[in-house]
């Protein structure tokens, strides 16, 4: 576990080791994260930094509005965390919320930066690898950090999926697809 008075870079390095340990299934992975108020704040700072970088790059590439991207990210993040918090409250494991948030924040920040670099290098085909790593991370965070039982892990993932579906519905309502985007979707579906 990083020292409670360590600086942000030390905590980020420890979190990177923790994310790697989670991917590998190391039972001691939680020792790399700081589950205090300071650790919680640091994990949010990491997410904000990475989100800012992503928004700037999105605007630079010209693939959408920064405000729309920010709102969509907040909705998806809020829905996932909200659904997880509601589920943890229902099963009486409110104590697992802070470790969950800290590890998810650091995992998202670190994986997002790695994925951003690989996409900038033209290695877009690795997206499937990141999807698999994300699934492994989700399961191992629930299993190794939150110490949930297998049935609870499945129910947590289902709760998160419901939260994501509701978030996507809200995003479509707030940012409806343009006729051109609908035509692209129709063309892609008919080609299959």
DSSP string covering 72-95: HHHHHHHHHHHHHHHHHHHTT-GG
Give the list of residues 6+ apart from residue 21 with CB closer than 8 angstroms, or none. Answer: 28, 29, 32
Burial of 24 (0-12, 13-18, 19+ CB in 10 A): exposed
Q: What is the pLDDT of residue 58?
A: 77
- Using a cut of 0.75, tell me whether the model's pTM lies above it: yes
For the chain, 192 residues long, give each residue's pLDDT as a single digit of tens: 666 667 899 999 999 999 999 999 999 999 999 999 999 999 999 999 999 998 888 777 766 678 888 899 899 999 999 999 999 999 999 999 999 999 999 999 999 999 988 888 888 888 889 999 999 999 999 999 999 999 999 999 999 999 999 999 999 999 888 888 888 888 877 776
Q: Kindly give the interhelix angle for 66-90 and 150-174, rounded to the nearest 10 degrees.
A: 150
């Amino acid at each position: 576990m990083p020292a409670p008075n360590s600086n942000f870079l030390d905590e980020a390095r420890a979190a990177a080791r923790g994310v790697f340990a989670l991917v590998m299934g190391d039972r001691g992975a939680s020792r790399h994260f700081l589950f205090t108020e300071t650790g919680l704040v640091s994990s949010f700072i990491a997410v904000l930094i990475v989100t800012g970088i992503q928004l700037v790059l999105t605007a630079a590439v010209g693939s959408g509005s920064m405000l729309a991207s920010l709102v969509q990210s907040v909705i998806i993040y809020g829905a996932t965390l909200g659904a997880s918090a509601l589920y943890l409250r229902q099963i009486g494991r409110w104590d697992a919320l802070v470790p969950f948030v800290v590890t998810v924040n650091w995992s998202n920040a670190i994986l997002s930066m790695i994925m951003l670099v690989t996409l900038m290098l033209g290695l877009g085909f690795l997206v499937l690898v990141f999807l698999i790593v994300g699934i492994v991370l989700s399961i191992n965070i629930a299993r190794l950090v939150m110490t949930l039982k297998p049935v609870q892990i499945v129910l947590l993932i289902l709760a998160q999926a419901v939260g994501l579906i509701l978030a996507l519905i809200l995003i479509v309502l707030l940012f409806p697809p343009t006729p051109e985007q609908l035509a692209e979707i129709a063309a892609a579906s008919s080609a299959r």
